[in-house]
Structure 1
Amino acid sequence: MPRGERPLGPEDTALLRFAGDLRRLRDQAGKPSYRELARRANYSPTALSDAAGGRKLPSLALTLAFVRACEGDATPWTKRWREVAAEYSLPLHPNAPYPGSAPFTEHDAKRFFGRECLVEQIVESVKAKPLTVVVGPSGSGRTSLLQAGVLPALDDAVVITPSQNALEDLAKALTEVFADTTADQLAEDFRRDPDHLRLRLRQHRPGLVLLVDDFEQALHQDDFIATLTRCPRVVLALRADHRAQYLAKGLGGNEITIEPMSADQLRRAITEPAAKIGATVETAVIARLVADAANQHALSLVQQALVETWRRKRGMTLSLAGFEESGGIEHVVAQAAETFYHALGDDRGDVRSVFLRLVSVQRNGNVQRRSRRLEAWQPQLDLLAKARLVTLTEDGAELTHDAALRWPRLAEWIGEEGDLLRTHQQLVTAIELWEASDRDPLALYRGARLRKAKELGEFLTAQERRFVEKSSKRETRRSTALIAVMAVLLALVPGTVVYALSNERKLTEAYDRELGGKAITESETLMEQRRPYADKYALVGYKVNPSPEAEKVLRLANAVTRGIPFTGTSKDDADVLVGPRGEMAAVTDEDGTDRMWGLDEDRAVPGKRFADHHRVVKLAERRAVTKDNTGRQHLWAVNDADDITYLAPLPDRFQTLDISADGSRIVGRIGDAVSVGLPTPDASERTVLLDLADPRQPRKLPVPVRDAETVALSQDGRELATAVWDAAAGLTTIEFWHIGGTFERAAPPLPQHVYVRGITYSGDGRWLAVEHSPESVIEVWQRVPSGTPVLRARLDSALRYGARVTFSYDDRVAVVRDNIFEVQRLYTTGRPADRLVYVVGHGNSMGAVYRPQHDDFLVRSGGQDPELLPYDLDSGRIIKKMCEKDGARLTDSEWVKSFGEVERVDVC
């Protein structure tokens, strides 16, 4: 008879109340036994019992498994878990490698990474120019850059942060420099003579550099500016939204812009501070943060997410489990927004208005951030920028991160004001077109659209209000002129107007279908002919008639238009091998030697070649395996496309089967060439696992299974999957092993009643794709901690051809079979996978590669051309980028040539 649960006693702590509610949830589910719960949750009965035991807080993953096994809603329990975890989380150790929400200081210089090039650029400017102006949006890290980057890099420098009385702040900062005076005396000297500071510096500290942070605070203090700008070496840090005011002062200077961190820079900012104290960051955590924040001014959010992950570290490792428990950037933003909102008091209504003005609702219902000038709301914007919820740039204000759109309170506001936001988005687009047409009166509003715009009332900015007023005046004049004409029509044909109004909707729908179909046909023709503007026509078709087919054509046309060619590679049908993050590619030159190429968002830059007749067989981060014309394989270091170094030959007759994405381990087979399909016994073959900690002397590790036909490494190189085929039983057994000094099982074995040809891990280790042979069916399994994987999807195809599988970081799986490219959305709830993309004519000899920094897939174009197509699945983002780059609008001649005198469609 099973033992009863230990009584909890008085639920007088958050932890005991949490455990008590878990028990009551189990009671509501019919009080299943813990053995039955274990079967449902894929956790042991002991672990589930301990979760409701009240002795310690269970992990988030275990909690959610318990809740789902009891058929509870995971969302409120996730929020509840994080509230309890915040109360019981460990205090931040003083040795923590990240500053969190605070800026880096001079004492943090040894852990300030990712901005080395920018610091060097500023230092060189200081040597060459008397005045350097560093301009960056709010949240771009100007203070950290000066304090932890530029200040330690200079021999003699001092930081000044001006306030309402900048001269006094300057004097206080210089009292330590000029020890023979007081701050009050210095300030008085500066007021009397703007040249006083320059003369003092020349006499006593000729090499001193003045670093002025938050210079925008002093833009209206002419005495401070006059004193400062006469000095020989000055660096000003200026918030970008004040750049116009600065330029109006006519100060000149060498201007340097703080750009968002690239993926590589952000990766260094994440990993290097931890490495300085002997800690490590799991690859999956790095990938998630880089995907969330690369090329955005979101470093403060990354630092806060890392601090919360550090609180939940496993030993000295920042793990994916700890990151997910912390909630990542999304939780940081939601928590900051909620804290900020509760502290506002009477100003909450104004902040709600600001938030709603910084979002747009598209026709398809997608909600997006948008940048707007909101001069009337400057006090609120300054507060929001300080809380890192809004970024202030030269172009206006915008929400700092997409995670803000998932703040529950904002999502609720958007739901309440959805119609208003859609109307406003249409108005903003109309104003942009009106401005672009030199304020053509025909582009003004009229009729129903004008009436809707008037209903926006106080939501309108001054510019938008002027547009509505001009439209109203023109409508009044137009209505007066039409009254007489309408009177005649009504008298002659009484039923005409009624008939027209009743059929207006049907006529509009028919018109949209016809125009949209024509635009889509034109786009497909241009794609086939490899001519420009295919994406512009596809956008017209999608905007007029937004059907699934039109969206499919828009995605493909965008990919074809943005195709990445390898200019100068004349070899037809060249091999193309892309690195795991889509940042580099190896392409075969005409003479049969591979060359490295650097890949940007939409272009490829040639780099160095490997040794003559070396072809790349595997490419990982910073590692490549090549094969020479004798069949011997070799190991190379690949830091970037222009920095490749030969490391060592691999063992004789070694054939690489897999290399971990981080380049830490290789698994292969010593023997004859590896065959594809059902196995052919070869007693001479054996599996070899190599550790690349010292890449010039790869070290052999023991392999737990000798006769594995299929092997695969996890992307961080810490786990090995082996598949052993039993021909007599017709059974393949897949086993999972932790790689260390000895091999330990990472999960229970997974039997497959087919021959397994391929195994692929997802980047975060949550998913596993298993390819069957010879039918090429893909089964996707969800990994369960310490439990048997759960089958979530079976991806079949009429094309029986070897499949190449890739996972994104948001539960999407891409499969390429010959020239068919498809993407499916996976679910952990048992819901069947959704097919998002199915395209014929793309893929060929290369699998798709997911690029987290751009959130798209690189796939080979059709034909023999080695060109790559960047395939973005987010139609809203495609449209936004096209409109931002002014690449969405057909010229007047293009429009008339294709559609005659049909009224132009607004696409942005």
Structure 2
Amino acid sequence: MSTLSSAANGRKLPSLAVTLAYVRACGGAEAEWSGRWHAAAAETAARVARDAEAASSGGTDAAALGAGRAPYAGLAAFQAEDGDRFFGREEMVDDLLNRLADRSLVTVFGASGAGKSSLLRAGLVPRWQGVALVITPGAHPLEECAIQLAGIAGEAPGRLHADLVADPRNLHRSVRQVMIRRADKAELLLVVDQFEETFTLCAEQEERARFIASLVTAAQTEGSRCRVVLGVRADFYEHCTNHAELARVMADAQVAVGPMGTDELRRAITQPATNAGCVLESALLAELIAAAYNRVGVMPMLSHALLETWRRRRGHTLTLAGFQAAGGIDGALAHTAEALYDTFTPHQQSLTKNLLCRLTALGEGTADTKRRITRSELDESDPDVGIVLDRLTTARLLTVDRAGIEITHEALIRRWPRLYGWLIDDREGLGIHHRLAVSAEAWESLGREPGALYRGTRLEVACAWLAAVGNVAERAQAAVLAPRERDFIDASLAVERAEADRARRRSLRMRQFTGLLAVLLIAAVTAACYAVSAESEMARQRNTALAQRVAVAAIALRSSRPALAAQLSLAADRLAPTPDTRDGLLSTMTTTLNGHTQVVSSVAFSPDGRTLATGSFDRTVRLWDTTDLRRPVAAATLVGHTDTVATVAFSPDGRTLASAGRDRTVWLWDVSDPRAPVRAGILTGHTDTVFFVVFSPDGRTLATGSYDHTIRLWNVADRAAPTALAKLTGHTLNVKPVAFSPDGRLLASGSDDRTVRLWDVSDPRHPAPRAVLTGHKDFVDAVVFSPDGRTLASSSDDRTIRLWDVTRPRRPARLAVLTGHADVVSSVAFSTDGRLLASSSDDRSTRLWNVADLRHPVPRAVLTGHVGAVQAVVFHPGGRTIATAGADHTAQLWETDPRRVVTRACEIAHPVITRTEWSRYFPGLAYRPPCRH
């Protein structure tokens, strides 16, 4: 009552919780009053700030408080000079120092936002008894290492860089040369922060390998005077293990940076404020600990929220009201970014979008990361560029130094909905722009060498993208391109026009020469016929090359201008009907299902084909009404999993859906009404990720494969009370896929131990092993039986698909090996008639194979369109459509029959391609729209 009385008298603003409780009691609108409260809190905070400023002019204590620097770092990582603000990780720093006493190379893993950089820079470096050097790899890690090391070695960076490129052992030699001048036992601590940039920004595989070899050699060579610490984002663990030398030394030298405990959080929150002469309200401290406890990646948001709360402090006190006015932990960052964005003019907002998209490296199977750029990528002739850059830097959303410009922390990418939306809306276009920026930088570094310019398909794709964002002829005024990039495109177009002019002149001379020969050698009929035939062949080759370029351009336009893309791909296929143009036509006519916010990991059709289920890393399962495959409709979203969903499967009667994933449980859902699904049961028992689930043909048994190295069989006849039947052991590593034969008597399983095992499950309570299939050279990711049960297909990280004759389960035989994918083959599926096999891959493609002759499979089509790894593929029961799941957060439906694709292309061909558009893509060819309406 006293709280409300104080508020009524204007002495104190009540908390948001108290305000809303009073509103509910009076029957008011909570949303409206919540907005009023935030406005009042912001006004109160501003008044407190003005009072503090006025007090500072009078020399009061408040002045002393306001004169000091902020006790919190916000989004920026703590540096070595921030020891008076860095608390809570003391035990972890001790652990790192102890490990470095015994090991020469230690890796520090943690999620983005866990505090790795601050731990290394403000925790470890100040306590190191010796010389410490901190680097971030960037696009050229060897060059960055040379520049930083040259500063303490007293050498020229260019010479040191040449030495590092020539021999990985030269880093070890340079460090010894530096340290031999120091105390006898002094050692250099080389901290490589944000080591994941070695994989995301360094495009040259050879340079990446040399950098890693240099680090390992410097740490491991006998007599070394160097200790190496790598700070790596957790989702790049697998990238590290792909390098044998690094994986070997990492095996027993890893430190995981997880969420802070309660005591650690309390020190991290209160101690900086105490040192700055401030105190926290007890309610605020409790709220902060409750909101941040056991949350991965929360540290930058917590630090930013504390900084914004400190700016809204009341005298020496950080208040709960100030924290809530800032937007809380989850909203403070977005609140700051959005408030700043709203102050910009429309042109400045456009510049902000372009700048932040440039500063983001798009992930392929991993989360998006920040990217460092130089000022040369910006058009600083526009005064608004400097304004935007200064204000974003002042707000600590960007960090600008002599090395370049970068987003202060990747939390901005994940937590500001507007930026996240920009990255999702035109991911394909952003990828094209980033590749253009890299190519322009390489061209500049080579002294604008003409050989480095775009030509052919790459130039067509870049121009098609520019046409989608603004008229190509006006690209010099488009804010999306930097001056260097505009020069690069201009030069590429100029070279292509010059080459086209030379080709036309050559063609004209050829025709003149042919005419002259015809006049002079009219009697030589054979020679004349030969000349005509040669010209016809030249025209055919020209048409083939032109059709292939247009097919690629059509795929780039399919999202922004689907009608034009359909007509271009169809016209290209008719101009030159080749496998490439046919694949382009199939790839253009897709239907995209949007809705998931993270990787879509699994897809499954119901037996009647009227429902599609998709599972995702966003912990949800979505159901889609696919009665009309061209216009799927979202039906329902299933929530309940507490971690990534890895697999979904329908029962044979279509009434039950099973889903499972990293939370180690299997959920059974009653989907008799797909618009109102109900949880029916839950299976527990596995001790690690459940990678795959599959129902037996009679629907009474469920098989599950898990990373705990086992397969389990469950009786699910009663969905509400499922029971365990048996546990199958034998695999020595993670079990991934499992599959029942059509008669339900045989079960196949694949594993990271590179084998496929066959099991007799005629009696599911007493399964028996039958055979072990070997041949794959890496992890087995998928297995599937053909509809007649006589053939088994398996796929692997070794980029191959293998076909096996399992007519005699005790003596399976090898039939064929399918190659063509350029990366992990994640999934395989047979069509209902068994004549087609579909495969999906991390190389972003889905391939179709004609397997009518099992010993001599033939490639049929390559489907492209996903902008990330393709995680799974499945056939529709009708056999003419496939569904795929992608790391680009989408599922897609594809027609596999080219004749049906042609019909559909003409159905959407409105408006009809104009003569101007035709001339741009088919120069020199008569206007001939592919569809007549």
TM-score scaled by structure 1?
Answer: 0.37
